[in-house]
Amino acid sequence: MTDFKLKAEARAVPTANLPTVRKQGKIPAELYGQEQPNQHLFLNKLELEKVYRAAGENSLIDLIINAAPPLKAMIHNLDRDPVSGYVIHADLYQINMNKAVTVPVPVIFFGESKAVKDLGGTLVKLLNEVEISCLPGDLIHEIKVDLSVLENVGQSVKVADLAIPEKIKVLTPLDAPVVAVVTQQVEKAAPVAAVAAEVAPAAEAGKEAEGAKEADRAKLDETPKKAK
């Protein structure tokens, strides 16, 4: 069983009086996938919204249709009324647990950056989700980023720095910055391009420092050792 459950009932197609049915709290939905014919469903409006807020589009749900055994599914898309914002239709996708799925996973930021608090830097969030691919059983609901690691202006957290389980393949470029601390002037000018320009020198300085350490270690290795 998963952490999320959603009940559904079969509906006839064509479905009569949809506006009236929606006012009664029923949302028409389509379930597809697994190379099976689409199943036409009704979902409870309030239950759907509650599950969607918690699960999003990257978590497995147990879909129970007319009291049948639950199917593994994911919410694929919600259509909303452009004026009211209410859900008017839902697409669900039945999941094969033995086949990899590709989904975006939201990035959640927590903690406080010393570079922002004490050094006057500006925090710039550049990615709000990371695309991954994995078996459904290995899905993660969110990726947490600790802002306290950003201690100096010019530092950034890149996709490669994120704590993501090894079973998961990351599709977003690993060198893409997720969040960075820049000067206020840079942030006002052009956030994405400016962050890359400001963060790059700091990264290169780190590489040069590491290169110098490697050179020193190489010299030590080449120093003749006295026989004991």
Q: Where do the domains of the chain lie, and which CATH numbers do they carry?
A: 5-94 (2.40.240.10), 101-219 (2.170.120.20)
Give yes or no for a contact between 64 and 5, defined as CB atoms under 8 angstroms apart.
yes
**96-111 average pLDDT score:** 96
Q: How far is CA 122 from the centre of its chain?
A: 23
Q: How far apart are CA 205 and CA 136, in angstroms?
A: 41
| Per-residue pLDDT tens digits for 123-165 | 999 999 999 999 999 999 999 999 999 999 999 999 999 999 9
Q: How far apart are CA 26 and CA 41, in angstroms?
A: 10
Q: ∠36-136-27 over CA atoms, to 5°?
A: 55
Instruction: State the DSSP H helix or E strand holding residue 136, giving kind and residue range, or none if neither.
Output: none
Q: ∠149-154-159 over CA atoms, to 5°?
A: 60
Q: How far is CA 78 from CA 45, 87, 177, 208, in A?
A: 11, 6, 29, 49
**pTM, two decimal places:** 0.76
**Which residues, 6 or more positions from 13, have their beta carbon under 8 angstroms from its beta carbon?**
40
Spell out where the chain has E strands.
5-10, 26-33, 36-44, 61-65, 71-80, 87-94, 101-110, 122-125, 129-134, 143-146, 156-158, 169-170, 177-182
pLDDT value, residue 34: 81
Select the more confidently predicted residue: 205 or 123: 123
Residue 97's φ and ψ, nearest 5 degrees, are -70, -10
What are the helix (H) ranges across 143-190? 184-189
pLDDT value, residue 36: 82
Taking 80 as the threshold, does the pLDDT of residue 37 lie above it? yes
